[in-house]
Amino acid sequence: MKINIKKVNYNQFIAYFFLMNKLLDLLVKWTDIEIINNSVCKYCTTQYSLYSVEKEQYDKSSFKYSDICPTCIFRLIYSFLNDKHLYNRKDINSWKNIISIISEDYKWEVIEANTYRELLVDDLWFKYWNDFSDDIFDDFIKLYSVFPKASRLVFRGVENWDYSSHVGTSKNLYLSYCVFSECEDVYYSLKITDSKNVFDSYHIASSSNIYSSHTIGTSHDVSFSRNSVDCSWLLFCSDMNNCKECIFCCNQVNKSYMIYNTQYTKEQYESIKKGIYEKLWDYNQFIFLQQKFAEFLDQNLVDWAININNCQKVNGEATFFSNNSVNVYAWNGISNCANIMIWGDFADDKWEKIINSLEFGTNCENSIWSFSFGYNTYNVNFSWFIAESTNIDYCIDLEWCEDCMFCVWLRNKKYCILNKQYTKESYFQKRQEIVINLKQSWKWWEFIPWTCSPFPYNDTLAYDYFKVNKVIYSDWREETIDSDAIWVVIVKTDDFISDAILDLGWDEKIQIKWRTKNKEINIPENMQVLKTKEIWNIWEINNDILDKAIICEESARPFRIIKKELEYLKKKWFPIPRVHHENRIDKIFSDRPKWQMYVWICDKCSIETLTVFKNKPKYKVYCPACYKQFMYA
């Protein structure tokens, strides 16, 4: 919960802190984790707790306790990660045209992503920093600027991944992001693992033929649905388990041939199903069916307050098979962690004692303020893009390294500072001197400054996950982004990438960059434009539409239909989309709130519990115990 303390009266102020204390107490309830103390975030005024598991990790490395809340930590770290905004660039080695997540308006040089990993070899980019200045952070930033950046985030084993980033061991991807583990044919989608034929979807695992859905696991042929597992042939469904052939249903287990939660014979079901599918091809009828589904859910759905399953002593959201962790989001198999986000989907692996971090791989332990780990890391702090490494502080892009600090782009190295090699004895002596100096200047526990991010803020996951209230442009024009948020962006110029201020409602303002316009990376110049009212019914459309750009009826941005997409739509009799692919995935992504906790009263038993819902939805929301009783008793 967030308020602008400068704009509330005394009674509101007291009520806010009373509710926040209740929230903080609930976060550690049922865990073995204790609250050491409470503080107020220097950026946004939110009250937050220092947890015992957090204090243990900070003390081990002599780091100061955080002076910003977990949400602002997530926001700061995610401001260094861009998954889905792409630009045309030149490879500095080959001078070929490439696709990059870094705009040419930044001075960073880029290398094609596949080549980038090939160049990360033992001494090719091993640079010696001859002298230390009085500010090693400044030295580190200068060193970081020397090295070229990967055009996109790619891991091994990727084929045919046009206009995609943050992907690995997958093929045939298009405008999709965070796709891993043997995926194939994934289009306009986000956070997909081990799945095939996925379109316009979010958080899909071990599934196939998924269209416009989210949070689907081990399922086949699911469309316009959500929160379902072990299902097949679902259309307009929610919260289903081990079901097949269901339409307009919710909260069903082990059911088949149901429509509007009513049981039919197979013959009756097939007859009604045919009539429903005959309406799907007509866009107006499709919109009507979407509205009927939303009305059905408002009247019938029972949702989780928080989605915690097979856990012991855990408070968070979308977390499974975990133990003794607090304020954790979208994880499997974690233990003794606090304030972490996304994601572990591999139950046989482990993540232990991870604090204030996000987006890391498998088998990681003892880390603070880090993100995008690879795998098998131990004791990694204030770093990112680290794999198979141990005892790493303030480093970027390291593999198979040990005992390094303030280094960039190294492989198979030990005892390095600012990419300079030391003997073991001299390394630890120099490290101790640096730590003492940084402690004296109160910097040993600070993350890399916001201004070092190679991305404008609205290109990053910080903006995707934590929307701002509005943007005030240099001509004083205002654009409302999210009326429920309170943070404001003030843009200083009309340049494509402009300096800006992120104002979180308190005294300390944050210097950022801001992209003032959209660029369509996959739309050729002079491409013929098609208005949505000119789009015909799906069976009347031929391949000519593949050579045209459709103008989004919401954002007025142009977007394309690709061949695989058109083939799938015709097969399913689904209408041609009228909305830009980014708008489509944003709607699906925001269908259920994420990443923040609030106090909730269970609609069944009336106990106080935690929830991700800031505002009460029209449907019922149960605490985890009541939800399981309702679904499975």
Q: By the 8 A CB rule, do 91 and 398 touch?
A: no
Checking if the pLDDT of 131 tops 70, the result is no
Helix (H/G/I), strand (E/B), else coil: 75: helix
Paired sense of beta strands 170-174 and 158-159, if any: parallel
Lowest mean pLDDT among 57-66, 369-378, 515-524, 545-554: 369-378
Sheet holding 470-472, edge to edge: 478-480, 470-472, 488-491, 497-503, 510-515
State how far the Cα of 37 lies from the Cα of 22, in Å rounded to an integer: 14
Q: How many residues does the chain have?
A: 633
Closest Cα to residue 388, out of 361, 354, 415? 361
Percent of the chain surpassing pLDDT 70: 93
Return the bridge partners of 408, or none: 396
Q: Specify the higher pLDDT residue, 329 or 496.
A: 496
**pLDDT computed for residue 3 by the predictor:** 45
- Compute the average pLDDT of residues 604-619: 88
Between CA 236 and CA 271 the distance in angstroms is 17
Q: How far is CA 499 from CA 27, 464, 475, 517, in A?
A: 37, 19, 14, 14
Q: Please compute the mean of the pLDDT values over residues 381-390 and round it to a whole number.
A: 91
| pLDDT given at position 10 | 45
For residue 155, which of 193, 181, 187 has the smallest C-alpha distance?
181
Helix (H) or strand (E) holding 239: strand 232-241
Q: Please, are residues 363 and 376 in contact by the beta-carbon 8 Å criterion?
A: yes
Query: Between 266-280 and 283-300, two packed helices, what is the crossing angle to 10 degrees?
Result: 130
**Percentage of the chain exceeding pLDDT 90:** 49
Task: Dump pLDDT digits (tens) for 98-122.
Answer: 999 999 888 788 999 888 766 665 4
Is residue 385 very low, low, confident or very high in pLDDT (cuts 50, 70, 90)? Answer: confident
Coil/strand/helix, residue 12: helix
Question: Does residue 280 register a pLDDT over 50?
Answer: yes
Question: Using 50, 70 and 90 to split pLDDT, how confident is the model at 130?
Answer: low
Give residue 580's pLDDT band: very low, low, confident or very high (50, 70, 90).
Answer: very high
pLDDT per residue over 441-462, tens digit each?
888 888 888 878 889 999 998 9
Per-residue pLDDT, averaged over 287-314, amounts to 91
Tell me the β-bridge partners of 417. Answer: 405, 420
415/97 Cα distance (integer angstroms): 38
Q: Which helix (H) or strand (E) holds 54?
A: helix 52-60
Which amino acid is present at 391?
Answer: N
Adjacent-strand bridge partners of 510: 502
State yes or no: pLDDT of 306 exceeds 70. Answer: yes
How wide is the angle at C-alpha 511 spanned by C-alphas 509 and 516, nearest 5°? 120
- CB-CB neighbours of 25 under 10 Å: 13
**Through-space distance between the first and last CA atoms of the chain, rounded to whole angstroms:** 34
- Rounded distance, CA 371 to CA 133, Å? 27
3-class state of residue 475 by DSSP: coil
Rounded to an integer, what distance in angstroms lies between the CA atom of residue 253 and that of residue 231? 10
Cβ proximity of 469 and 3 under 8 Å: no
Whose CA is closest to 380, among 363, 136, 69?
363
Banded pLDDT at 349 (limits 50, 70, 90): low
Average pLDDT of the chain to the nearest whole number: 87
The whole-number pLDDT of residue 128 equals: 52
Supply 525's token pair: 């110049």
DSSP secondary structure, 110-162, as one string: EE-HHHHHHH--TTTT--------S-HHHHHHHHHHHS-EESS-B-SSEES-T
Q: What is the mean pLDDT of residues 561-568?
A: 95
**pLDDT band at 401; cut points 50, 70, 90:** very high
